[in-house]
Structure 1
Amino acid sequence: MGDIRILQPSGLDSLIGVLHERGYRVVGPTLRGDAIVTGEIRAASDLPQGVGDLQDAKTYRLHERGDQAYFGFAAPAQSSKPVFFPAEEVVWRGRRDHDNDGHFTVERDAVDEPPVALLGVRSCDLRAVQIHDQVLAGRSHIDAHYVGRRDGTFVVAVACSDPAASCFCASMGTGPRPAENDPQTGAPSYDLLLTEVLADGDHRFILEVGTDRGADVVAALAASGAPVTRGTDADQADAIAVTDAAAALQTRVVDTAHVHDVLRASAESPRWEDVASRCLACTNCTLVCPTCFCTTVQDVSDLTGDSAERHRVWDSCFSESFSYIHGGPTRESTKARYRQWITHKLSSWEDQFGMLGCVGCGRCITWCPAGIDITEEAAALGRMSGLATPAATT
């Protein structure tokens, strides 16, 4: 058994307070309008207590749960990606120096923000952050802005107890319980792991310590008089039972043993015409995906021409202009663009980075206005290619 504690719900405010005292900007799930989003958390009252979600193909609704669960929903509408990799940011600023023959002085924009504490991050989204660590910070040319925001992150993960109908993290090996260590680097995945248990009127959090930093925060909680006590093997077993039950509820699957080869063998499959007839190329799936990292740049200047900025903004491989080179786009058709997206996610991403580019969060299914299901498309390609893949449930 590791270091197991029991935290009463009234101790969440103390946990958030300890993180603030250590200089962290606490970010987690919160209500905004009719959606649960990722935003700044100042107190436990900012969390979506008593709120659940209904997610399925082209469906997203919130509902009152009838209990006081703080994390009784599948996942926020958007992942933690924008925390470290925002949808738009300034790369550099330039200004004309009239005292120096009108030459431009260019300054790179630098990240100057406090470290982040991710509170309530789900296993699928935590795995997506780890994937970005490899893609954006683990290669020879790092993304300095990403690294500046990501460095020093404190992670309070939450084990998932209420998956949506669109979730398939269990088949991807990315949830509902987070792995103790990053499978690529071996580094601890989280500092603290919370599992919310509601049974027979008992409402508590089973808290598992993953790092020395996590142990330090737990010690500070205890010193502050917060309601945290020692746990047992039985408590950890209760936590694992919660996520085992959540995994058993999931009906959508991707056959990860074969999907890489299925996509490689399906370049000319007639299935691409079928899905293209339904796809609107609206880019929703890429914009909500926690691992997509495609960007473009936009240069702007003032009317005088004395100042200019370069902005990096999210882009999508579903946009015709994304693959534009001299003479026109490389991928002119929706068929080609959908094929590029799913093939990268479930096949060539593994060739590039040694892992799949999908974490099974299901957001692309939820937010697709046409209800296109990546698990069903992968399964259909598998059937047509002659390689066995489990049928997806839609």
Structure 2
Amino acid sequence: MADTKAAAVIDRDGLHALIGVLAARGRTVVGPTVRDGAIVLAEISGGDDLPYGWGVELEAGTYRLRARSDGAVFAHSAGPQSWKTFLHPPRVREWSADRGADGDLVVTADETVPPSYAFLGVRPCDLRAIAIQDRVLTGGRYADPGYRGRREQAFLVAVECTDPGATCFCVSMGTGPAAGPGYDLALTEVLDDAGHRFLVRAGSEEGAAVLAELPRCPADPATQEAARDRVAGAADRMGRSMPPVDLQALMRDTLTAERWDDVAARCLTCGNCTMVCPTCFCTSAEDVTDLTGDHAERWRRWESCFDLDFSHLAPGPVRASPRSRYRQWATHKLGTWFDQFGSSGCVGCGRCIVWCPVGIDITEEAHALHREREAGAGATGQGDPR
């Protein structure tokens, strides 16, 4: 491993050069760019594609771009996509089958070679989300070879958070605003009287090799201190927080709480929260065929626990009510994920709050459950799953 404490400073030209170096190494560079009124993740070909001078205004059920006067490139919070879109795509063909002239079926596994991605601008919360998906999709008995292939080739350029949004709560989840382990390069953006620059640290051998190809200066003490101050300041400006309690125990102790009825009255069970969540991983199989019946394909696509058919068994759906489906999602994300995978499934990115059409706020729900438990109303037990 490279010395993760070794650091350098690059300017805007150095950032643009980084994209070129990664592309020259055969990588498909994906980063933030402005499109359709949002900052989205897409393939980028150069530094001009980055969202210089754009920030976002976030609230429950609200997302708006806003112009910034400082020209910052990474001073925006998580957008509607996460890196899950590329590592665990929404729709993947698993195999195809063709009927030959003799009537026999020939089944061919899909062996499409995935791109060698370089992800530029991975927030610390998303860096942790990737680590969580690694545990889910590459560990245990049911590893996903497609995910593993995409993940093993990915080069991660993390960007530490210096300007959190109103719906961010990564500090509560221990996932930011400083970058944790797992990156190849980590950037911290600094804008002050000394100029616009980026403190860069290498976290892998390849990261160190890429950094060595960039126009750079040694990391001076003033830039290092400014970077630390901005990250520390971001930790003090989180827009949301979880109650400071054991969330796994809170979910377990409030299964029959009245608060679930309140959220069920508002929830549309649309599944937006699961689609934008960087760690939700559930999928379903979809078989399609052509009109001749001689060609068929099986596709794997994202599925949501808010879908009525998600828990459908012969007698009917196990979770027939919005109450039971929202409770399943929240208690799994914040509670039983620990039992399965040894950590929380929530990284505090706030996407589920922003992209909920009725503005349901998972932190508000957790605080309400905590208050109800403190008042003695959140009885323990399995509760009614319907």
Q: TM-score range by the shorter chain?
A: over 0.9
Q: Which residue of 1 aligns with 2:321?
A: 333
Aligned CA-pair RMSD: 1.4
The amino acid that maps onto 1:332 is: A
Between the two proteins, the alignment pairs up a number of residues equal to 373
State the Cα deviation string for residues 208-256 of structure 1 (Å, max 9, x = none): 11121111111122xxxx2x11113443332221111111111311136
Say whether residues 1:25 and 2:28 are aligned partners: yes
Q: 1:84–1:7: structure 2 CA closer, same or farther, 3 Å change rule?
A: same
Q: 1:20–1:164: structure 2 CA closer, same or farther, 3 Å change rule?
A: same
Say whether residues 1:11 and 2:14 are aligned partners: yes
1:300-315 equivalences in 2 (<5 Å): 300-315=288-303
Measured in 2, the distance between the counterparts of 1:111 and 1:249 equals: 44
In structure 2, the gaps of 5 or more residues are 377-386
Measured in 1, the distance between the counterparts of 2:142 and 2:334 equals: 24
Say whether residues 1:206 and 2:207 are aligned partners: no
State the Cα deviation string for residues 69-110 of structure 1 (Å, max 9, x = none): 1111112221111111111110111111113xx121111112
State the Cα deviation string for residues 263-302 of structure 1 (Å, max 9, x = none): 1011111111111001111111111000001111111000
Measured in 2, the distance between the counterparts of 1:157 and 1:114 equals: 19
Q: Which residue of 1 aligns with 2:105?
A: 104
The amino acid that maps onto 2:210 is: V
SS in 1 for 2:372: helix
Q: Which residue of 1 aligns with 2:179?
A: 178
Q: Which residue of 2 aligns with 1:154?
A: 155
State the Cα deviation string for residues 309-347 of structure 1 (Å, max 9, x = none): 011111110111111011100000000000000000000
SS in 2 for 1:276: helix
Q: Which residue of 2 aligns with 1:259?
A: 247
Which of residues 365, 372, 375 is equivalent to 2:363?
Answer: 375
1:335-354 equivalences in 2 (<5 Å): 335-354=323-342
Say whether residues 1:41 and 2:34 are aligned partners: no
Measured in 2, the distance between the counterparts of 1:378 and 1:235 equals: 39
SS in 2 for 1:82: helix
Say whether residues 1:364 and 2:352 are aligned partners: yes
The amino acid that maps onto 1:50 is: G
Do the aligned residues in 2 keep the contact of 1:77 with 1:363 (CA within 8 Å)?
Answer: yes
SS in 2 for 1:249: coil
Measured in 1, the distance between the counterparts of 2:8 and 2:341 equals: 36
Q: Which residue of 2 aligns with 1:248?
A: 236
Do the aligned residues in 1 keep the contact of 2:59 with 2:167 (CA within 8 Å)?
Answer: yes
1:81-120 equivalences in 2 (<5 Å): 81-99=84-102, 102-120=103-121
Measured in 1, the distance between the counterparts of 2:273 and 2:41 equals: 18
Measured in 1, the distance between the counterparts of 2:112 and 2:169 equals: 35
Measured in 1, the distance between the counterparts of 2:194 and 2:66 equals: 21
In structure 1, the gaps of 5 or more residues are 182-188, 389-394
State the Cα deviation string for residues 138-167 of structure 1 (Å, max 9, x = none): 122210111121112111110111111010
Measured in 1, the distance between the counterparts of 2:354 and 2:45 equals: 29
The amino acid that maps onto 1:90 is: R
Measured in 1, the distance between the counterparts of 2:225 and 2:94 equals: 48
Measured in 2, the distance between the counterparts of 1:256 and 1:121 equals: 27
Do the aligned residues in 2 keep the contact of 1:4 with 1:232 (CA within 8 Å)?
Answer: no
Q: How far 1:387 moved relative to its partner?
A: 8.5
State the Cα deviation string for residues 7-63 of structure 1 (Å, max 9, x = none): 011112211111111111111111111011111011011111111001111110001
SS in 2 for 1:163: coil
Q: Which residue of 1 aligns with 2:218?
A: 230
Measured in 2, the distance between the counterparts of 1:85 and 1:257 equals: 32
The alignment-based identity, stated in percent, is 50
Q: 1:387–1:6: structure 2 CA closer, same or farther, 3 Å change rule?
A: farther
Measured in 2, the distance between the counterparts of 1:386 and 1:345 equals: 22
The amino acid that maps onto 1:122 is: R
Do the aligned residues in 1 keep the contact of 2:57 with 2:165 (CA within 8 Å)?
Answer: yes
Do the aligned residues in 2 keep the contact of 1:111 with 1:145 (CA within 8 Å)?
Answer: no
The amino acid that maps onto 2:56 is: D
The amino acid that maps onto 1:210 is: G
The amino acid that maps onto 1:383 is: R
SS in 1 for 2:56: strand
TM (normalized to structure 2)? 0.94
Do the aligned residues in 2 keep the contact of 1:35 with 1:76 (CA within 8 Å)?
Answer: yes
Q: Which residue of 2 aligns with 1:391?
A: none
The amino acid that maps onto 1:364 is: C
Do the aligned residues in 1 keep the contact of 2:333 with 2:344 (CA within 8 Å)?
Answer: yes
The amino acid that maps onto 1:108 is: A
Do the aligned residues in 2 keep the contact of 1:296 with 1:312 (CA within 8 Å)?
Answer: yes
Which of residues 76, 81, 84 is equivalent to 1:78?
Answer: 81
Measured in 2, the distance between the counterparts of 1:332 and 1:242 equals: 47
